[in-house]
Amino acid sequence: MPTLIDVSTAFPSPHGERVEVELRLSLGSASSSEVPAQAVLTLADNRMYDDKTRRRKSSVLS
């Protein structure tokens, strides 16, 4: 399961108004001694994007 980190910060723009920036990261890990590393990373990436899509759809519906 990915770990979610949400970071929000505000900083002044060149014109003096505050600009808020949100940074979202999804981190995870995967390993296997049975298949090549690229296969593990591909599967992990696909599962991560599937999970992100599911979470986005559920947040839109709620």
Overall number of domains in the chain: 1
pTM value surpassing 0.75: no
How much is the pLDDT for 42?
A: 93
Identify the pLDDT of residue 30: 84
Domain that holds residue 39: 3-61
Q: In terms of DSSP H, where are the helices of 1-62?
A: 37-61
* C-alpha closest to that of 6 among 21, 19, 24: 24
pLDDT digits (tens, 9 = 90+) for 6-61: 555 666 777 777 777 777 777 778 888 999 999 999 998 899 889 889 988 887 77
CA distance 60 to 23: 19
